[in-house]
Amino acid sequence: MRVLIVGGGGYIGFHIGLELASRQHEVTLFDLHPPNPVWYDKSETCPLPFVTGSILCLPDLEQVLSLSKAEGVIHCAAHGMSSREQLPSASSLTESINIDGTSLLLKVCSGPSSSVTSLVYTSTFNVVFGCDEIIGGDENLPYFPLHRHWDNYSISKSVAERLVLASSGKNKKFHTCSLRLAGVMGVGETRHLPRIVASLPFLKFRYGNAKVQFVGIKNAVQAHVKALEKLHDDPDVVGGEAYFISDGKPIEHWEYFRPLIEGLGYTYPKWVLPVGLMWIFVLLGQFFLRVFGEIWGAGRGLFLSPAELLKTSVTHWFSIDKAKQHFGYAPEDVNDLSGVLHEYRRKMGLSPLLKFRKNDT
């Protein structure tokens, strides 16, 4: 299959591309910026064909679809996922990329001159989670009300997912599905893990005991590849459907990171602050960034946004049975941060660990 990955310069998109290429698919990456060289041998050029362009530019999309002759598309381009990107000042860009960009991509892919038959959309737990506890939820849950979300990222991803699923089957040849991912972790991840590791020297307390889910990069990749292949071969089963994707085993948020904290030589915090007090800190931090951002250093970003506080302090986890049944999703190395720990010990000049404390909570 010829596959175009929109957002292929990002962590998830690039690794999906590598796996698809290893399975003999023809892959083209499309993004504003090429993949980070840390994800491949720095002495080499990007191992996959890469085309520079914007999801907001119709000529760019038409050109890359024409050049790639794509039959399948994986859409993982997004903005506004974390930190200061969730501030209201960034809302217009978030909405443009996540909603307008998705709408434009769907228009081009489903057009009469397009060769695309299958599109897999990278979505998020946030489309159904906002602030209410969810235990063992499934795909029958309704979308979380847009007006109750704390961030434009969640709002825009919810709107975009509905556009994607509504477009499935509108013409006989074009079908879509959506993968709702938990937080993605893995070696080389550059959005969340660097912030977490940088905060460890100052980590003297924790908060809450929420049970949540994460997904390792290998499992996120596996889900996309299997979903795309199934959608291409059997659209009657997968077309128009949404799926929760995670490692499958709920774990307390802090316990998930405990092997990393202790493995890097830091003390696991024993003090537990009330979540209400954390809300005061987070809202004050957001206020100072809004008012004094340019002076105070908006480039530093927020340690936690309100949406991130909710994600880490309110229990929410979902069944992955539907993905298992429909396209054979089978997570491996569940809740495993051993590779990440090895990566950061090497960066910090520490010797490799002979034993690793595994997440078995």
| Distant-in-sequence, close-in-space partners of 343: CB < 8 Å, separation ≥ 6 | 187, 188
Tell me the C-alpha distance between 331 and 158, whole Å: 25
End-to-end CA distance of the chain: 40
**From 11, 40, 121, 153, active-site residue:** 153
Sign of the C-alpha dihedral computed for residues 152, 154, 157 and 162 taken in this order: negative
Strand partners for 176: 119
Tell me the C-alpha distance between 149 and 302, whole Å: 18
Q: What is the DSSP letter of 298?
A: G
Tell me the C-alpha distance between 178 and 224, whole Å: 9
Closest CA to 276 of 313, 316, 317, 315: 313
Known catalytic residue: 153? Answer: yes
C-beta separation of 245 from 252 below 8 A: no
What's phi and psi for 12, nearest 5 deg? -70, -50
Tell me the C-alpha distance between 55 and 3, whole Å: 16
| 3-class state of residue 233 by DSSP | helix
Tell me the C-alpha distance between 262 and 200, whole Å: 10
Closest CA to 206 of 267, 284, 129, 132: 267
The CA distances from residue 115 to 48, 120, 142, 314, in Å, are: 21, 15, 33, 43
User: Residues for the chain: how many in total?
Assistant: 361
Catalytic residues: 153
